[in-house]
Amino acid sequence: MLDESFETPVLPAPVPHHGRLPLFRFFRILRDNMIATYSAEAYESEIVERKIFGRCRFIVSQPAAIKRVLLDNAAGYRKTEITRRILEPGLGKGLITSEGETWRRHRRTMSASFGHGSISAYTPIMSGAAQELAAEWSSLGAGAAVDVARAMSKVTLHIISRTMFSTDSDVMGDIIEQGAGRYQAEMRPNIMDFLGFPAWLAGLPRFGIADRALRKFDAQIDRLIASRSSGSGGPRDLLSRLIAARDEQTGGGMTAEELRDHVITIFMAGHETTAMAMTWIWYLLSQHPREEAKLHAELASVLGGRPPTDEDLGKLPYTRMVIEESMRLYPPVHTIAREALADDVLSGRRVPKGSSVLIVPWVLHRHRLLWQDPGRFLPERFSATCCAARPRFSYLPFGDGRRICIGAAFAMAEATVLLATLAQRYRLQLVPGHPVEPLGLITLRARYGMQMTPTPRA
């Protein structure tokens, strides 16, 4: 079924198949690598429809239709049942999985903790963690390779742990590191999810795994929340900010249970995504020496070898363009899914109530109607002029509309600090022959990790 005649992408990506996969193959591929289920037609159509067990599933790539789903008619959609089944056992009812008035109140309450004012308090933590990693690499023997996917996952976990819990970070980081990878590997949608079996039956093995992996974490968070709430005056970390946060409209705060679900959501949503973005950035730079040289030139002229501070972040436009272009080609959240709460019309097509509507950054960012030469790595696409010429809702690494990623500014600051600090000290080269394959699980991972050699820069 795979069609070799489809123009081979310049950069690694599964070769899309033409037409419809038979259902049994669709489910096998879905479990293995979700991005390989998207057909070649999706990359050149505004909307693609498929019926699965009598229910419609649309892939929508027309910016105006995406705007309708995420913004103008957002109240007519909610997260899908399958998203809830996959994420809720691990994340509880944090921002990602909650809906309606509860979501609105919590989003309002938490916004300030992720605003620019708060981010500047977190950048020294990001910088410290980046410098520690640089120091760690300096003790590697000449020519030694590291799995950059793993290294990025560790450093982003350190950053979110220290941001959230200050000094208590290490024990929490260890628990999450053990739990999160396994959780993601096991929590894949299966045919029973689509058939609507109860979650506990559809996911019997997964159920236990999610539960065991995260129960330890819950207990630790409860302990920390209790000790901070008792007024012992803990540090001004993200946890303290969330405990102190009040809804500007009602003056209410969050209960201990709500806080715990938010904390775990922020951990899971906030570390793996940035780690995967960084992994693909290093890979792309290693394949594009011209762009890498331009990045180094900017870093040398603005920073001259020192680590970036909060004030520097706005002065590194090419660095930002490299990050944005990398997330175009390898968006860490490859698919954004919604369910229609009522009949709707998208791109002139009737969308019946109950349909799944998929907005797929993986497809959208490589769409032939929206991008010229979509398989090419070209950071200049993100210059101010090019961005202004593009329709909004054609580039969505952080989603858009009212449920846009609350951590977007955090993630951009973190990626900039990591890239600027490490690229000034090292060139990362892919180990020759190392296989590179994007793998669409909950996030977009590298199937075989990313073995690279950090070479100190003269």
Q: Is the dihedral of CA 184, 16, 41, 361 positive or negative?
A: positive
Best CA proximity match to 127, nearest among 413, 455, 323, 427: 413
Nearer to ligand HEM, 30 or 266 (CB): 266
Interatomic CA distance for residues 11 and 218, integer angstroms: 40
Nearer to ligand HEM, 104 or 434 (CB): 104
Phi, psi of 338 (to 5 degrees): -135, 160
Q: From the CB of 415, what's the least distance to ligand HEM, in Å?
A: 6
Nearer to ligand HEM, 62 or 98 (CB): 98
Q: From the CB of 139, what's the least distance to ligand HEM, in Å?
A: 29
Q: From the CB of 187, what's the least distance to ligand HEM, in Å?
A: 16
Q: At what angle do helices 116-138 and 408-425 cross, to 10 degrees?
A: 30
Interatomic CA distance for residues 453 and 277, integer angstroms: 18
Q: From the CB of 32, what's the least distance to ligand HEM, in Å?
A: 22
Q: Is the dihedral of CA 423, 427, 428, 429 positive or negative?
A: positive
Nearer to ligand HEM, 328 or 403 (CB): 403
Q: From the CB of 239, what's the least distance to ligand HEM, in Å?
A: 12
Nearer to ligand HEM, 7 or 99 (CB): 99
Nearer to ligand HEM, 108 or 296 (CB): 108
Q: Measure the N-to-C terminal CA separation of the chain; round to a whole number of Å.
A: 49
Nearer to ligand HEM, 96 or 187 (CB): 96
- Alpha helix locations (H) across 341-456? 361-364, 384-389, 408-425
Nearer to ligand HEM, 245 or 405 (CB): 405
The residue sitting closest to ligand HEM, measured at its beta carbon, is 407
Q: From the CB of 354, what's the least distance to ligand HEM, in Å?
A: 18
Interatomic CA distance for residues 366 and 16, integer angstroms: 12
Q: From the CB of 172, what's the least distance to ligand HEM, in Å?
A: 14
3-class SS of residue 399: coil
Q: Is the dihedral of CA 363, 366, 368, 371 positive or negative?
A: positive
Are residues 376 and 389 in contact, defined by beta-carbon separation less than 8 angstroms? no
Q: From the CB of 251, what's the least distance to ligand HEM, in Å?
A: 21
Residue 8 neighbours by CB distance under 10 Å: 10
Q: Is the dihedral of CA 233, 235, 240, 245 positive or negative?
A: positive
Can you give the binding site for ligand HEM, defined by CB under 6 A?
A: 95-96, 107, 265-266, 269-270, 273-274, 277, 332-333, 336, 397-399, 403, 405-407, 410-411
